């Protein structure tokens, strides 16, 4: 009897490294106390949003695979997780847009 081996895909490893890196950068940007803090927070939030949206797209692909294989429970859980990831990503991108607008110097 051989047990089915489940390997971790390279895409998941890439997303995990990107998520950890963007969270570390955002935490660093929160601790900086000078004039570059808002642009750093905006950049960190934008990258974090992109990573979460990429994670949601990866979950969408996994949902398709689970659905065609007849694993409806797994597809449901992946759908909920992917939806939450997309909402977080959209919120991070909205926050990044607001921070980019706040970092502009007023002209007038």
What confidence tens digit (pLDDT) does each residue in 55-83 have? 999 999 989 999 898 888 989 999 999 99
- How would residue 2 be classed by pLDDT, with cut points 50, 70 and 90? low
Decide if 27 contacts 47 (C-beta within 8 A).
no
Write out the E strands in 1-108.
none
Q: How many domains does the chain have?
A: 1
Position 2 in a domain:
no
- Check residue 88 and give its pLDDT: 95
- CA dist 59 and 3 (Å) reads 25
Position 55 in a domain:
yes
Tokens of 63: 């949902």
Show the domain range for 91.
10-103
Per-position b or e across 38-54, b if 16+ CB within 10 A of its CB? bebbbbbbbbbbbbbbb
Tokens of 95: 């926050």
Position 4 in a domain:
no
pTM across the whole model: 0.82
Position 1 in a domain:
no
């Amino acid at each position: 009897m051989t047990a089915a081996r489940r390997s971790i895909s390279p895409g998941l490893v890439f997303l995990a490294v990107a998520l950890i890196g963007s969270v570390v950068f955002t935490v660093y940007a929160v601790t900086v106390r000078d004039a570059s803090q808002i642009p750093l927070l905006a950049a960190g939030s934008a990258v974090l949003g992109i990573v979460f949206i990429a994670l949601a797209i990866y979950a969408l692909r996994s949902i398709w695979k689970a659905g065609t294989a007849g694993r409806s429970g797994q597809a449901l859980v992946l759908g909920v997780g992917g939806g939450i990831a997309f909402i977080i990503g959209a919120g991070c991108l909205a926050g990044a847009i607001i921070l980019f607008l706040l970092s502009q110097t007023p002209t007038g």
